[in-house]
């Protein structure tokens, strides 16, 4: 482990060449140094300690102010990953982000940086904000000196300040106009790199849209979360998922959007979001095996399957939207739990929600008078209770639906006796089932909050009177045949590739000599 005052020559060289490549706009070299060299040097010299302070490397980069801010961003990110930052360091990191983003917002930016670095920058900004809120909420573990300092840091990592920074980046970047002008065709085609222009503000603005969705979700404002992501069209994944090619941004976008839809009882839209990103992860995760974020990708993958299980249990019709591979993986992971949730076992909903929900934060400062309260758990309990209250309102509906599926028409009195309910209670349950069968669903456009109220159930029914004057529940089956076109096309293509490989004679059979390796 290197001394904090003795900077190894390799680290000096790394800093010098990174600075030079940034000035030369050499994106491939910058990305290689950022994704490979920085991690290798960190593992070798600073595995459990911070990198050298910026003052120790400033001379190597000609005291360049912009580069020093970028270096400090890497410095604090490494500090959070490998060490336990104290309150002073958390405040210093906040000040550095304010200086860095303030410089980018109020000056003529002409540098270019890899998109992965810009995403990590915004992602780390939100992570440190979330970490500070969690740290601040554990007031029982703080010394009197720390509590006094926290009272003085009311503007540090304040939720309104964070939202203002993100919104300022969105506004300054002009990303909304770019995406609205041609549906984002130019932006997606170039991955944000326009000729003779910096990509920095543009991409920070795009990633800030995703982060606004994330922050609003963390504080439990799900409508604002979905509203903030405009004009990114969640229902055009063939565009969004491949440009920019940043796995973390794609996962964050669809995870938080899907969770917000689920909490707003828009289960069809939630299933659509989870299906899109889970299918994408299934296709591309093999390319990220060596990535430092691979474990995080797998964790988010499991969390989204858990959320999807809740969605399918609450709205079985959502299963029709799932790709074949996603449906298969869902059955292998959570088939038993979906059955138990279908029987109304609240403990399973509680377990899956607790495992897969975001780490909620409390937007306001804690009350320092009562040191026994953990505000982090309070916010989590509020969101869990909201979710379980919706689940409780549907506990008797699966049984009622099973009886209705057995009949094309049934007397209300007979149905009440089967359900072991009085007729007044049965009418309430039928009304509840009718109401829960309809939900707001996306029908077009980039505004994720818009839609129409459509049926999301596999049955429909109405109450009518027969010739004898009896009230009857008339049931109509609304199950739609699932389209297997895409599934069959994929397997036909695979089958043709197998036949082609079998028909191709091997090199050995032809007696050819192996090619030389240079």
Tell me: do 414 and 461 sit in the same domain: yes
In this structure, are 332 and 415 located in the same domain?
A: no
Give the pLDDT confidence score for residue 507 in this predicted structure: 46
pLDDT in tens, 194-213: 888 899 999 999 999 999 99
- Asked whether residue 147 is assigned to any structural domain, the reply reads yes
Tokens of 255: 């995870």
Spatial CA neighbour of 248 closest among 112, 116, 131: 116
The answer to whether residues 384 and 328 belong to one domain is yes
User: pTM for the whole thing?
Assistant: 0.86
CA angle 463, 464, 466 (to 5 degrees): 140
What is the per-residue pLDDT for 160?
94
| Domain with 420 in it | 397-477
Between CA 322 and CA 429 the distance in angstroms is 29
What does the pLDDT average to over 354-364? 92
In a shared domain, residues 148 and 193: yes
- Same-domain pairing of 240 and 374: yes
- Angle, in degrees to the nearest 10, between helices 38-45 and 65-82: 50
How far is 385 from 377, CA to CA, in rounded Å?
12
Backbone angles phi, psi at 459, to 5 degrees: -140, 160
pLDDT score for 46: 95
- Which among 442, 461, 477 is the end of a domain? 477
Q: Are residues 210 and 256 located together in one domain of the fold?
A: yes
- Say if residue 517's pLDDT is above 50: no
pLDDT of residue 403: 85
**Pair 309, 439 in one domain:** no
Q: What is the pLDDT of residues 383-396, one digit of tens each?
A: 999 999 999 988 87
Least confident among 23-27, 82-86, 352-356, 399-403 = 399-403
Q: Supply the CATH number for residue 410's domain.
A: 1.10.10
456 with 320: CB under 8 angstroms? no
Confidence of residue 182 (pLDDT cuts 50, 70, 90): confident
**Per-residue pLDDT tens over the stretch 479-516:** 444 445 656 766 787 777 788 778 766 544 444 444 44
Residues 365, 230 share a domain: yes
pLDDT at 218 over 60: yes
**Final residue belonging to a domain, choices 392, 426, 447:** 392
One domain, residues 167 and 207: yes
Mean pLDDT score of the chain = 87
User: What's the average model confidence in pLDDT over 278-283?
Assistant: 90
In a domain, 234, yes or no: yes
Q: Could you say which of 477, 496, 511 is where a domain stops?
A: 477
179 against 29, higher pLDDT: 29
Q: Is the pLDDT of residue 140 over 60?
A: yes
pLDDT confidence of residue 146: 80
Number of domains in the chain: 2
The full DSSP string for 271-290 is: HHHHHHHHHHHHHHGGGGTT
| Alpha-carbon gap, residue 258 to 252, rounded angstroms | 10
User: Is the CB of residue 471 less than 8 Å from the CB of residue 411?
Assistant: yes
Query: What percent of the chain stands above pLDDT 90?
Result: 54
DSSP 143: -
Residue 147 in this model has a pLDDT that exceeds 90: no
**What pLDDT shows up at residue 366?**
77
């Amino acid at each position: 482990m290197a001394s904090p005052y003795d900077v190894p020559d390799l680290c000096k060289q790394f800093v010098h060449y990174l600075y030079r490549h940034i000035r030369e706009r050499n994106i491939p070299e910058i990305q290689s140094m950022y994704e490979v060299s920085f991690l290798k040097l960190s593992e070798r010299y600073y595995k459990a300690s911070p990198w050298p302070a910026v003052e120790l490397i400033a001379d190597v980069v000609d005291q360049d102010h912009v580069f020093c801010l970028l270096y400090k961003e890497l410095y604090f990110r490494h500090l959070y990953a490998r060490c336990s930052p104290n309150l002073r360091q958390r405040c210093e990191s906040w000040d550095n982000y304010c200086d860095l983003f303030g410089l980018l917002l109020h000056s003529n930016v002409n540098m270019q940086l890899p998109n992965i670095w810009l995403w990590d920058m915004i992602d780390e900004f939100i992570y440190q904000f979330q970490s500070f809120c969690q740290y601040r909420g554990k007031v029982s573990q703080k010394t009197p000196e720390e509590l006094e300092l926290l009272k003085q840091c009311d503007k540090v990592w304040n939720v309104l300040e964070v939202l203002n920074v993100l919104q300022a980046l969105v506004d300054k970047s002009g990303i909304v106009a770019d995406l609205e002008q041609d549906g984002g065709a130019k932006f997606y085609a170039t991955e944000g790199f326009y000729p003779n222009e910096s990509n920095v503000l543009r991409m920070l603005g795009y990633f800030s849209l995703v982060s606004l969705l994330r922050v609003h979700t963390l504080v439990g404002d799900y409508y604002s979360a979905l509203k903030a992501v405009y004009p990114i069209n969640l229902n055009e994944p063939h565009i969004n998922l491949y440009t920019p090619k940043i796995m973390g941004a794609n996962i964050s976008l669809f995870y938080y959007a899907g969770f917000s839809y689920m909490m707003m009882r828009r289960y069809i839209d939630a299933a659509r979001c989870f299906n899109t990103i889970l299918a994408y992860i299934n296709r591309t995760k093999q390319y990220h095996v060596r990535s430092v974020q691979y474990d995080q990708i797998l964790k988010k993958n499991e969390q989204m399957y858990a959320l999807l299980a809740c969605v399918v249990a609450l709205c079985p019709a959502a299963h029709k939207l799932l790709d074949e591979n996603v449906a298969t993986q869902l059955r292998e992971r959570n088939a038993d739990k979906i059955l138990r949730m279908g029987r109304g076992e609240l403990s399973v909903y509680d377990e899956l929600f607790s495992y897969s929900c975001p780490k909620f934060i409390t937007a306001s400062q804690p009350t320092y008078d009562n040191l026994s309260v953990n505000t982090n758990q309070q916010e989590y309990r509020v969101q869990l209770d909201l979710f379980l209250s919706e689940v409780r309102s549907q506990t008797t509906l699966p049984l009622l639906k099973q009886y209705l599926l057995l009949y094309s028409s049934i007397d209300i009195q007979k149905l009440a006796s089967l359900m072991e309910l009085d007729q007044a209670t049965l009418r309430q349950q039928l009304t509840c089932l009718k109401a829960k069968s309809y939900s707001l669903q996306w029908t077009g456009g980039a505004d994720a909050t818009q839609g129409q109220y459509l049926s999301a159930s596999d049955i429909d029914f109405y109450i009518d009177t027969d010739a004898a004057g009896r009230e009857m529940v008339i049931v109509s089956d609304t199950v739609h045949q699932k389209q297997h076109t895409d599934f069959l096309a994929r397997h036909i293509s695979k089958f043709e590739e197998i036949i082609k490989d079998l028909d191709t004679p091997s090199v050995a059979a032809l007696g050819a000599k192996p090619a030389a390796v240079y």
